[in-house]
């Protein structure tokens, strides 16, 4: 009796301080851009994926460390040769519209994406041969060839499962009426203003704590911060570093700083003089003080990069990278026949990535120290991308984050010689050895695959097609009333398991 009284008291106290999970309440998230289309197979933007990850589940899901955990698939088997994936599904689950979730529904979703020309078709169509419902709760994926990153593609936002009935009903309007099995149901979308979701009380893992989530579009970052400070919003995304000290001083707010998968680099044209000489490219790497960039330009909101992959990307291997060594840079330049340096153009976008232009200016100064006279040229983003297609660039600042969280989706598009610009290998890097490792990496699994990527990263870093700069961090802030906010390093913030205390 006394114990139970104590327990009740403890629970009440815990509730008072917001420790225990509580049901109810609406959370407002202030973010910079509106979603584009709420159809997983047909969207490529981060806000759409974030909203959809609250409405729909996938067969497999990422946790905060990007492990691939069972979700709508209870378990799975992969055939010896890596070409057949058999998934055993959760039973007795219904979509928000009452349609039963089963193997047919899964097959419908994937057949739609691989047979139609949707914006995420290319993420599945090249790999999947067929998807068949074997029985009510077993679905089999046959691949065209073994593909080591396949589970990562299934954990991607594009592989979220939506109700076949809804897709058939809405047709081309599917992106406006998302229906899934997830913890939240779609309520309304006022373009440019807000998206509202409400709790799915029948969610198969138990009802979510929150009653409602409202995603509000607030394009200006200082306004987002005001929203949070005034209590109108519970979460504000993409906080400018300059605002962080003020928010940290506010006892009601929590600032969440997490590393992303986004590597910022300066690509060099590997086919154009003087950058076709590996010694010049290595010299550029030695000449840049990555540590200083991270601390002074980015205010600590980045970590030095030592590979084309970010540490949290699957397959990352720490090569040690290039330490800051201007003397060595000068020696290498002299060996390459440029004792007095040379002139080059460094292209950069402005405002696309955190402190991108400022970084370019700092790099310009660092390169000047070793005799490389770089002209910094700023270009508007759309024009910038078109410029890169023409293969005329000398040096260019760019960032990449694989939305599949797998090394394959960095190495293959950016560094395989088959993918030269106008594809994404803008540095025009070509090394047959690396090409082979990337191709073998696609077919291998597990540890063997990791070894291949390790080897590839060692060679790439030695070849230095880019100057590896840093891995960006993402800054978000939220009210301390909100608990259990989750952050996936693919730049997605989730409140589906959160509660208001």
Partner 1 sequence: MLSFFVRRLIMLLFTLYAVVTLAFFVMRLAPGDPARIIAGFDAPYETILALRHELGLDRPLIVQYGRYLAALFRGDFGRSYNTRRPVLEELAWRYKNTIILALCAVSFATILGMTLGGLTALRPYSVFDSFAMVLALLGVSAPIFWLGVIFMWVFGVKLRLLPTGGTGTARHIILPSVTLGLALSAVIARMTRSCLLECLGQDYVRTARAMGFAERTVIYRYALRNALIPVVTVVGLQLGYSLAGAVLTETVFAWPGLGRLLVDSIFARDYPVVQGCFIFVAFTFALTNFLVDLLYSVLDPRIRYG
List contacts with partner 1 (CB under 8 A).
Answer: 36-37, 44-45, 117, 119-123, 126, 172, 175-176, 190-194, 216-220, 222-223, 226-227, 229-232, 380-383, 385-387, 389, 400-403, 409, 413, 419, 422-424
**Separation of alpha carbons 100 and 280, rounded Å:** 61
**Separation of alpha carbons 314 and 310, rounded Å:** 9
Shortest distance in whole angstroms from residue 177 CB to partner 1: 12
Minimum CB distance to partner 1 smaller for 176 or for 462: 176
Are the C-beta atoms of 466 and 308 separated by less than 8 Å? Answer: yes
Shortest distance in whole angstroms from residue 416 CB to partner 1: 12
Render 131-167 in DSSP notation, one character per residue.
EEEEETTEEEEEESS--TTHHHHHHSGGG----HHHH
**Separation of alpha carbons 55 and 180, rounded Å:** 6
Shortest distance in whole angstroms from residue 278 CB to partner 1: 27
Q: What angle do CA 379, 472, 288 make, to 5 degrees?
A: 70
Minimum CB distance to partner 1 smaller for 176 or for 373: 176
- What does the block give as tokens for 498? 């959160």
- What does the block give as tokens for 497? 């398991």
Minimum CB distance to partner 1 smaller for 175 or for 308: 175
Shortest distance in whole angstroms from residue 409 CB to partner 1: 7
Shortest distance in whole angstroms from residue 7 CB to partner 1: 39
**Separation of alpha carbons 297 and 171, rounded Å:** 48
Shortest distance in whole angstroms from residue 425 CB to partner 1: 10
**Separation of alpha carbons 275 and 297, rounded Å:** 26
Q: What angle do CA 11, 501, 249 make, to 5 degrees?
A: 120
Is the C-alpha dihedral spanning 163, 165, 171, 176 positive or negative?
negative
Task: Choose among 149, 154, 151, 146: nearest CA to 83.
Answer: 146
Question: Can you give the three-state secondary structure of 381-401, one letter per residue?
Answer: HHHHHHHHHCCCCCEEEEEEC
Minimum CB distance to partner 1 smaller for 93 or for 414: 414
Place of tokens 């508007």: 380
- What does the block give as tokens for 205? 């893992």
End-to-end CA distance of the chain: 28
Shortest distance in whole angstroms from residue 122 CB to partner 1: 4
Phi and psi torsions of 360, nearest 5°? -60, -40
Minimum CB distance to partner 1 smaller for 315 or for 371: 315
Minimum CB distance to partner 1 smaller for 125 or for 331: 125
- What does the block give as tokens for 450? 């990791």
Shortest distance in whole angstroms from residue 189 CB to partner 1: 11
Minimum CB distance to partner 1 smaller for 333 or for 388: 388
Shortest distance in whole angstroms from residue 420 CB to partner 1: 10
Shortest distance in whole angstroms from residue 475 CB to partner 1: 19
Minimum CB distance to partner 1 smaller for 50 or for 419: 419
Minimum CB distance to partner 1 smaller for 175 or for 180: 175
Minimum CB distance to partner 1 smaller for 99 or for 237: 237
Are the C-beta atoms of 55 and 199 separated by less than 8 Å? Answer: no
Going by the DSSP 8-state scheme, the letter that residue 308 receives in this structure is S
């Amino acid at each position: 009796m006394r114990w139970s009284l104590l327990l009740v008291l403890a629970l009440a106290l815990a509730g008072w301080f917001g420790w225990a999970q509580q049901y109810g309440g609406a959370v407002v998230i202030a973010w910079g851009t509106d979603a584009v289309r709420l159809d997983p197979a047909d969207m490529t933007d981060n806000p759409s994926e974030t909203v959809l990850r609250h409405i729909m589940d996938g067969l497999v899901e990422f946790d905060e460390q990007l492990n691939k955990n069972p979700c709508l698939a209870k378990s799975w088997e992969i055939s010896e040769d890596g070409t057949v994936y058999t998934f055993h599904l959760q039973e007795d689950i219904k979509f928000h519209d009452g349609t039963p979730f089963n193997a047919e529904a899964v097959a419908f979703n994937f057949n739609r994406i691989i047979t139609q020309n949707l914006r995420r078709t290319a993420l599945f169509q090249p790999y999947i041969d067929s998807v068949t419902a074997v029985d009510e709760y077993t679905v089999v994926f046959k691949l065209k060839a073994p593909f080591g990153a396949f589970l990562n593609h299934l954990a991607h936002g594009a592989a979220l499962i939506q109700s076949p009935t809804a897709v058939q009903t809405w047709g081309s309007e599917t992106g406006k009426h998302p229906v899934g099995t997830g913890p939240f149901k779609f309520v309304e979308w006022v373009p440019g203003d807000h998206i509202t979701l409400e709790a799915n009380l029948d969610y198969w893992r138990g009802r979510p704590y929150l009653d409602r989530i409202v995603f509000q579009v607030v394009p200006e970052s200082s306004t987002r911060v005001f929203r949070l400070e005034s209590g109108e919003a519970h979460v504000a995304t993409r906080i400018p570093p300059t605002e962080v000290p003020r928010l940290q001083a506010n006892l009601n707010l929590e600032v969440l700083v997490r590393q992303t998968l986004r590597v910022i680099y300066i690509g060099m044209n590997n086919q154009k003089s003087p950058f076709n000489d590996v010694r010049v490219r290595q010299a550029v790497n030695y000449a840049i003080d990555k540590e200083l960039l991270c601390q002074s330009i980015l205010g600590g909101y980045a970590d030095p990069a030592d590979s084309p992959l970010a540490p949290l990307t699957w397959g990352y291997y720490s090569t040690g990278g290039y330490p800051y060594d201007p003397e060595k840079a000068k020696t290498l330049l002299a060996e390459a026949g440029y004792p007095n340096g040379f002139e080059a153009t460094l292209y950069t976008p402005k405002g696309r990535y955190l402190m991108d232009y400022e970084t370019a200016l700092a790099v310009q100064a660092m390169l000047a120290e070793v005799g490389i006279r770089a002209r910094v040229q700023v270009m508007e983003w759309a024009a910038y991308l078109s410029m890169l297609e023409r293969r005329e660039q000398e040096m260019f600042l760019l960032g990449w984050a694989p939305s599949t969280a797998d090394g394959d989706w960095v190495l293959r598009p950016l560094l395989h010689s088959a993918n030269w610009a106008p594809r994404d290998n803008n540095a025009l890097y070509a090394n047959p050895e690396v090409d082979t490792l990337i191709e073998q990496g696609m077919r291998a699994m597990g540890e063997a695959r990791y070894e291949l990527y390790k080897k590839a990263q060692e060679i790439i870093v030695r070849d230095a097609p880019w100057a590896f700069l840093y891995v960006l961090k993402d800054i978000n802030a939220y009210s301390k009333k909100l608990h259990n906010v989750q952050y996936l390093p693919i730049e997605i913030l989730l409140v589906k398991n959160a509660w208001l205390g």
